[in-house]
Amino acid sequence: MSSAVSCARLVIGRDLRLAFRNRTQLLHPLLFFAIVTTLFPLALTPEPSQLRDVAPAVLWVGALLASLLAIEFLFREDAQDGTLEQYALSGRSLTWLLFAKTVSHWLLSGLPLALMSPIVAYGLAVSPAAMPGIAASVALGTIALSLLGAISAALTLGIRRGGALLSLLTLPLAVPLLIFGAQATARAIEGASLVAPMYFLAACAVLGLTLAPLAAAAAVRISLE
Amino acid sequence: MDWTWFHRFGSPPHLYGLAGRLTPWFAWPSAFLIAAGLYGGLVLAPADYQQGDGFRVIYVHAPSAWLSLMAYTWMAVAAAIGLVWRMKAAHAAAASCAPLGAWFTVAALCTGMLWGKPMWGTYWVWDPRLTSELVLLFLYLGYMGLRSAIEDPQRADRASAVLAIVGVINVPIVRYSVEWWNSIHQAPSVMKFGKPSISWPMLTPLLIMFVGFTLLFVALLLVRLRGEILRRERHARWVAEVVAG
Amino acid sequence: MSAHRLSGDSLHVFRGERHVLRGVSFVAEGGDYLEVTGSNGAGKTSLLRTIVGLVHAESGRVRWNGLDIHADAGAFHAQLAYLGHESPLKADLTPRENLHFAIGIRRRVGGDEIARALAETGANGFADRPVRTLSAGQRRRVALAGVVLAAVPLWVLDEPATHLDAEGHALVGRLVDRQRAEGGIVIAAVHAPLPVAGAGTRRIGLTLQ
Amino acid sequence: MSDFLSMGGYASSVWPSVALTFGIIAWNIVAARRSFAAARAEARRRLAVEGSP
């Protein structure tokens, strides 16, 4: 239905416009990603061959924590200023509206992380040939991660100091993404075929696309009760 | 279809009374079965040809691991029922499952480590089964953390129910991903748990233990369930009658 | 326009341990204004949130045109405008942008329509300033413009005149009366009575439990 | 008997496992009963304070 699409466009449009009025906030997760991945060579070794070995782990743990940082703010402001309440009472499907919100969140956090990951990987002595594979795997993995994070963010709404709890809820659920994502990156670095791990990541993303907005909508309704 | 039985069954006073009456019927058989299974497993069953007597840890490890997964599944099912039908008693059951499941996850982890020591020469190896048990423990802790962080008891019930359902969908995926990860990184020198060659004298005590542990779990669940029902129904008239009597 | 009817029958609501609403009943039909009064903490907001369906009553039902509101919540919400005691506005957007996004989700709305509504609630003068620079009363006017723009039969307003000056109170009264004249229903929780026409006005007094 | 206790050299694995599992079971029995008793006591206390509803 076209009205559902225009609804989603409005939700995404609002989030993007708000984000660009607060550009510096968008940079925080990216800066975090850059700094964390800088710490590893300093703690470990500048030796390129060793850095290449740990690059998948560093990239993925860094990306995971950086997007976790962003997820904390996914619904927070909307909950405080009453926007979520209005969404829930708009007569539109809350599931659909939250799906649109998650899409805009990915555009603002997952996609930039994916675009930045080749730069970070270059710093970890990864050859440029591996870059497209790495960026693609981070992009795909962060889709699933944003969806998963939407559930946890909705569940922790209204909890004081919910940040640590948010990590406790999200990280165990994100274990499969970490495994498949890091594996995809490792294969990209080796020059091997990415098909298997990318296929699993895509499966996780599809599962998340179908179920996560439903769960997030249920959680938001509970938080409004 | 007539659903009155369902609502009667779910009505807190009915369930409270039923749980009280049923508890001994689960508790005593479980004590008997666990004693019998333990005797069978530690004394009667022959030693494994590869692992000698070391395999006997399985008689406490496997039932604990089984309960850790079963408790999570039951918790999610109860949570879903509570969420869909707004049934307080189902939320009470879900709340009762969590600490029990978490404890049996701890038991499965620790016995797995003790079993691993003679096999691997170290307590901790990133074995897929141990790793997924560890993730399961984190899931339990997250669930209990969310529950205790929300002050309003009804919201806590409903929010944690959503988490339990998401978790139960995730558990098989975690399990699969961890096994896949392990199959890639497997070092040939690491010895895996040799599958004990299954023979009836070995298997029978194990099956008895499985049944005994399951009954034990139900008995513990029923006791906790009664407490959780009382906590949710404090203001109800029937509670006053039950407690005063 | 068919006459609308909203009713609640002996609603019981718990907030945590507190039994805030003990058997509240009401009926409102097209043209009615229902005023909910009571001291702080008496459950005014809880009642309004139960009526709009955010809070589920422990027992009792709210019915819209005879149908339980939870039976088809989407259809009910499409006919409802709710204003909480916070004005639901984004601080970094202007009033015009806020209304464009908020109302656009509900229905197609043009810029001239938004301008008219803003003029009507006296928010024209600051329609293009970021909301963060506005006073609480000015924000309230923008939020009221949103309620008008929703163009729905049922308004549920929590302290609609809060932060507003005397002229603002009169404005709220006028808006409510016009909504009623068009066959709509207005339910508002208030501290001071709104200046509205007397006929068709009813009060629900809540006492602190 | 000492053969049985030595578990063919695996005593340090088998016995702690058994002890730990039964320790956890015992603790769970105690904790479950305690949780029920606490809920009951709490309900009774409220009844004493508020009187019959």
pLDDT digits (tens, 9 = 90+) for B43-72: 888 887 777 788 889 899 999 999 999 999
Q: In sequence order, what are the residues at sequence separation of 6 or more whose Cβ sits closer than 8 angstroms to the Cβ of residue D40? A: B227, B230, B243
Residue B192: predicted pLDDT:
46
Q: What are phi and psi of B190, to 5 degrees?
A: -70, 125
Q: How many CA atoms lie within 13 A of C60 on its CB side?
A: 22
pLDDT over 80 at C180, yes or no: yes
pLDDT over 90 at C95, yes or no: yes
Sheet holding C33-38, edge to edge: C80-83, C154-158, C185-189, C33-38, C201-206
Q: How many CA atoms lie within 13 A of C184 on its CB side?
A: 22
Mean pLDDT to the nearest integer, A196-222: 95
pLDDT category of residue B198 using cuts at 50, 70 and 90: low
Reading the block at residue A18, the tokens are 């708000």
Residue C205: predicted pLDDT:
78
Residue D53 falls inside a structural domain: yes
Residue D34 falls inside a structural domain: yes
Mean pLDDT to the nearest integer, C183-204: 87
Residue A136: predicted pLDDT:
95
Residue B43 falls inside a structural domain: no
**Which of B33, B224, B228, B237 is best to mutate for the D interface (most D CBs within 10 A)?**
B224
Q: Which of A2-16, B16-30, C44-58, C68-82 has the lowest mean pLDDT?
A: A2-16
pLDDT over 70 at C97, yes or no: yes
pLDDT category of residue D2 using cuts at 50, 70 and 90: confident
Task: Give ipTM to 2 decimals.
Answer: 0.91
B residues 174-233 near A, CB within 8 Å? 174, 176-178, 180-181, 184
> C59 and C12 in contact (C-beta within 8 Å)?
yes
- Neighboring chain A residues of B155 at a CB cutoff of 8 Å: 222-223, 225
- Does A contact D via 3+ CB–CB distances below 8 Å? no
Q: What is the DSSP string of C148-167?
A: HHH--SEEEEESTTTT--HH
Q: CA of A17: which chain C residue's CA is closest?
A: C93
pLDDT over 80 at B117, yes or no: yes
- Does C contact B via 3+ CB–CB distances below 8 Å? yes
- Alpha-carbon distance of B72 to B94, in angstroms, equals 9
Query: Hey, are the CB atoms on C56 and B153 less than 8 Å from each other?
Result: no
pLDDT over 80 at C199, yes or no: no
Q: Would you call A158 helix, strand, or coil by DSSP?
A: coil
Query: Hey, are the CB atoms on D42 and B226 less than 8 Å from each other?
Result: no
Q: Give domain C1-79+153-209's CATH architecture.
A: 3-Layer(aba) Sandwich (3.40)
- CA torsion, points A183, A184, A186, A187, in degrees to nearest 10? 120
CB of D19 within 8 Å of a chain B CB? The answer is: no
Residue C197: predicted pLDDT:
81
Q: What is each CA distance from A141 to A131, A134, A182, A205, A216, in whole angstroms?
A: 15, 10, 10, 7, 19
Q: CA of B150: which chain C residue's CA is closest?
A: C16
- Which residues face C59 on adjacent strands? C12
CB of C15 within 8 Å of a chain B CB? The answer is: yes
Query: Hey, are the CB atoms on B153 and C16 less than 8 Å from each other?
Result: yes
- Alpha-carbon distance of C136 to C86, in angstroms, equals 9
Query: Hey, are the CB atoms on A91 and C86 less than 8 Å from each other?
Result: no
Give per-residue pLDDT as tens, D43-53. Answer: 888 888 876 54
Give per-residue pLDDT as tens, C3-22. Answer: 899 999 999 998 877 888 88
CB of D8 within 8 Å of a chain B CB? The answer is: yes
Query: Hey, are the CB atoms on B114 and D27 less than 8 Å from each other?
Result: no
Residue D14 falls inside a structural domain: no
Sheet holding C67-68, edge to edge: C18-29, C5-15, C59-64, C67-68
Residue B157 falls inside a structural domain: yes
> D31 and B106 in contact (C-beta within 8 Å)?
no
Residue D51 falls inside a structural domain: yes
Residue B37 falls inside a structural domain: no
Residue B190: predicted pLDDT:
39
- Neighboring chain C residues of A77 at a CB cutoff of 8 Å: 90
Q: Which of B10, B2, B12, B5 is nearest to B233 (CA)?
A: B12
Q: Which of B133, A92, B96 is nearest to C77 (CA)?
A: A92
Q: How far is A163 from chain B (nearest CA, A)?
A: 12
Query: Hey, are the CB atoms on D40 and B244 less than 8 Å from each other?
Result: no
Nearest residue, CB atoms, C101 vs list A14, A81, A224: A14
Chains sharing 3 or more CB pairs under 8 A with chain D: B
B residues 146-185 near C, CB within 8 Å? 151-154
Residue B164 falls inside a structural domain: yes
Chains sharing 3 or more CB pairs under 8 A with chain B: A, C, D
User: What average pLDDT does the structure give for chain B?
Assistant: 88
Structural domain boundaries in chain C:
1-79+153-209, 87-151
Residue D13 falls inside a structural domain: no
Query: Hey, are the CB atoms on D28 and B226 less than 8 Å from each other?
Result: no
Domain residue limits at A83: 2-224
Chains sharing 3 or more CB pairs under 8 A with chain A: B, C
> A83 and A177 in contact (C-beta within 8 Å)?
no
Q: CA of D4: which chain B residue's CA is closest?
A: B43
Q: What is the DSSP letter of B43?
A: I
- Which residue type is seen at B56? R
- Neighboring chain B residues of C17 at a CB cutoff of 8 Å: 234-235
pLDDT over 60 at B1, yes or no: no
B179 against A1, higher pLDDT: B179
User: What average pLDDT does the structure give for chain C?
Assistant: 91
Place of tokens 């800066």: A31
D47 against A164, higher pLDDT: A164
Helical spans, DSSP H, in C105-195: 111-120, 136-150, 166-181
- Neighboring chain B residues of D25 at a CB cutoff of 8 Å: 216
Q: Would you call C41 helix, strand, or coil by DSSP?
A: coil
pLDDT over 60 at B134, yes or no: yes
Q: CA of B157: which chain C residue's CA is closest?
A: C16
User: Roughly what angle, to the nearest 10 degrees, separates helices A48-71 and A163-173?
Assistant: 120
Q: CA of A12: which chain C residue's CA is closest?
A: C101
Mean pLDDT to the nearest integer, A114-118: 95
**Which of C70, C80, C105, C157 is best to mutate for the A interface (most A CBs within 10 A)?**
C105
Give per-residue pLDDT as tens, A59-74. Answer: 999 999 999 989 988 9
Nearest residue, CB atoms, B118 vs list D13, D33, D46: D13
Domain residue limits at B105: 54-235
Q: CA of B223: which chain D residue's CA is closest?
A: D32
- Alpha-carbon distance of A65 to A178, in angstroms, equals 11
Q: What is the DSSP letter of B41?
A: I
pLDDT over 90 at C76, yes or no: yes
- Alpha-carbon distance of B217 to B212, in angstroms, equals 9
Nearest residue, CB atoms, A10 vs list C55, C89, C101: C101
> B65 and B133 in contact (C-beta within 8 Å)?
yes
Residue A4: predicted pLDDT:
86
